[in-house]
Structure 1
């Protein structure tokens, strides 16, 4: 038997994601967990044509295939420490949804909330997204409930959804959030509660309290810390040059 040869493939970017997530820290580990997170998928030329999405409005959800563009240059790892296991056990990369893969391809099933087109633009409005702002999209497919949903499927080491922790706000932080909501129409408080409730911290910080964290959303930085049995949002900062946390 002849030895199989490794093939290489080149993909074209068909679209780009616009979302509230301006850094990896804080993005839910699976789609659908943070229902208040909305995003847009803008089709890029020459794929910004309405005939390419003809009929897609009949589907409530779509599969978005994308590139892990912020981690692709870090290379891949044969084993990963999944957050669901507390970061203490290693699993094979193909048994996880880690971003550090031989091919940096991700996929998310998201709600299709609407379609906008005009002035040369075609935009898909998405709900409950887990996608970083500026993520390159390489394909879109309709979600088929009868084929893609398997009720008796096993979830391996991540069988159940994460239970959300309690999130509280300082008086100052809540006032700033309410002002921001009134100005932008964005449901910031609900979004923060859902993001922090699933504990976005690395596993090694799981027992750490009173340490300052920042989560970048749109044009703001949400400042928060763990208080043991709940998370406290202490402030809201406006920051146009938000960097990845150390």
Structure 2
């Protein structure tokens, strides 16, 4: 996968899912990928560097990006410069947050690569549906995760994993 292409028309506001997709806020007050410049900044853990004939491949963990997104620069995490203990989250702190219970049958969990199940379950718990589509209990939704297609439905407060392929 590659980074999302630049939208044909840029908007200074977006409708974040955390606000139910009903309220617009400034794009720079969100983590939306729909920005005028597709370069982002995220804190990651360096896992290892793989040396290949074509050059080094850097493996990171905890990245807030899609597989295949290029990483242009790496800088060290410096606690006194990078940690902001008195910072606040702005509007996100007042936005309601509701997690789902995840019904994930063991036979489907077995289809998930080792080390990816916990992260996938957490993403599902946080309700990955598009904002505004929360009223269709029989609709089958799909989530791309770790090279998998995860199909699920949501009935009330319970997300049911239906298929992992």
State TM-score, norm by structure 1. Answer: 0.59
Matches within 5 A, 1:134-153: 134-153=68-87
Name the counterpart of 2:35. 101
State TM-score, norm by structure 2. Answer: 0.83
Secondary structure of 2:132's counterpart equals helix
Correspondent of 2:45 among 106, 111, 133: 111
Name the counterpart of 1:205. 133
CA distance in 1 between partners of 2:75 and 2:139 (Å): 42
Task: Report the CA distance between 1:202 and its aligned residue.
Answer: 1.4
Residue ranges of structure 1 left out of the alignment (5+ in a row): 1-21, 23-67, 238-246
CA distance in 1 between partners of 2:65 and 2:100 (Å): 22
Larger radius of gyration: 1
CA distance in 1 between partners of 2:78 and 2:43 (Å): 10
Q: Deviations over 1:50-79 (max 9, x none)?
A: xxxxxxxxxxxxxxxxxx832314331121
Matches within 5 A, 1:59-98: 69-98=3-32
Residue ranges of structure 2 left out of the alignment (5+ in a row): none
Larger strand share, 1 or 2: 1
CA 1:213 to 1:118, structure 2 compared with 1: closer, same or farther past 3 Å? Answer: same
Matches within 5 A, 1:37-76: 69-76=3-10
CA distance in 1 between partners of 2:8 and 2:146 (Å): 25
Aligned residues: CA RMSD:
2.5
Name the counterpart of 2:159. 231
Q: Which has the higher contact order (CA 8 A, sep 6+)?
A: 1
Matches within 5 A, 1:209-224: 209-224=137-152
CA distance in 2 between partners of 1:223 and 1:137 (Å): 30
Name the counterpart of 1:64. none
CA distance in 1 between partners of 2:16 and 2:136 (Å): 19
CA 1:168 to 1:70, structure 2 compared with 1: closer, same or farther past 3 Å? Answer: same
Task: Report the CA distance between 1:135 and its aligned residue.
Answer: 1.3
How many residues get paired? 164
Secondary structure of 1:105's counterpart equals coil
CA 1:145 to 1:163, structure 2 compared with 1: closer, same or farther past 3 Å? Answer: farther
Q: For the Cα contact (< 8 Å) 1:225–1:233, is it kept in 2? A: yes
Secondary structure of 1:235's counterpart equals strand
2:107 matched to 1:175?
A: yes
Identify the range of structure 1 (223-232 vs 128-137) with the bigger mean alpha-carbon deviation: 128-137
CA distance in 2 between partners of 1:187 and 1:224 (Å): 21
